[in-house]
Amino acid sequence: MRSVRAKDIRVGSVTIAALSRRVAALAVLASIYAFAFPAATAAQTLRIVALGDSLTAGYGLSEREAFPVKLQAALKVKGHDVEVINAGVSGDTSSGGLARLDWSVPEKTDAVILELGANDALRAMDPAVTRKALDDAISKLKSRKIEVLLAGMMAPPNFGGDYAARFNPIYPDLAKKHDVVFYPFFLDGVASVTKLNLRDGIHPTAEGIDLIVARILPKVEELIARTRANRK
């Protein structure tokens, strides 16, 4: 009885030997693709750290109502593949944020939304101290090749014009100096609006956060565009 060789066996119009060669070729192509494009989807995900105080942390709100969570959801609706990490600490000053920057902004962070200074103003801290801390924080981030969106803050009006004249220019000055994306006032449209703030009159409600997200969104998209452009 004649033995049957693999090359003689057919599956439809194709021999087993030929089919095996095609499978092997596909396996080689798959391995080449995996080597050339490792974890393509994961590599495209941008990691954005929101480094701030209670306004970022979500004081008085549930976790899902905090600014970073709502911002991530809004960005994903617009088709952006991002992860927004909440690195907000209630009560933090600009100097406090600088002190913890190295461990609050982990490796492989692509961009940072820097929202600090509100507590400096509320405590009437020397604007020179705030300016230096923010300046140093941006310099550190830039040295790590991390793109920055600087969220501005305004001095409370009851502190008088002299204090405001020293505090308010900090943010536009630093944004220009470091050429970072700039959003002039984080609480724009929310500050002093009773229904958009908690009873303390300082921290936004969930609805207030929604408005902040909606208004800052174009600047965050600019941040994303810069980050992706610099990846190329």
Q: What is the average pLDDT score of the chain?
A: 88
Which one of 53, 80, 104, 203 is the catalytic residue?
203
> What residue segments make up the domains of the chain, in order of their start?
6-36, 41-231
Q: What mean pLDDT is predicted for residues 36-56? A: 76
pLDDT at site 6: 47
pLDDT at site 17: 53
47-74 pLDDT, tens digit per residue, is 999 999 999 999 999 999 999 999 999 9
200 counts as catalytic: yes
Q: Are 54 and 90 in contact (CB under 8 A)?
A: yes
Q: Are 164 and 155 in contact (CB under 8 A)?
A: yes
Phi then psi dihedrals of residue 47, to 5 deg: -100, 115
pLDDT at site 22: 54
Specify the pTM: 0.82
Q: Domain 41-231: give its CATH code.
A: 3.40.50.1110
pLDDT at site 8: 52
pLDDT at site 21: 55
173 counts as catalytic: no
Share of the chain above pLDDT 70, in %: 81
135-174 pLDDT, tens digit per residue, is 999 999 999 999 999 999 999 998 899 999 999 999 999 9
192 counts as catalytic: no
Which one of 53, 54, 94, 95 is the catalytic residue?
54
pLDDT at site 41: 42
Q: Are 46 and 81 in contact (CB under 8 A)?
A: yes
Which one of 13, 62, 143, 200 is the catalytic residue?
200
Q: Where are the alpha helices (DSSP H) in 64-205?
A: 67-77, 94-99, 101-104, 118-122, 127-143, 161-167, 170-178
Query: Rounded to whole angstroms, how far apart are CA atoms 212 and 146?
Result: 23
DSSP 8-state secondary structure symbol assigned to residue 2? P
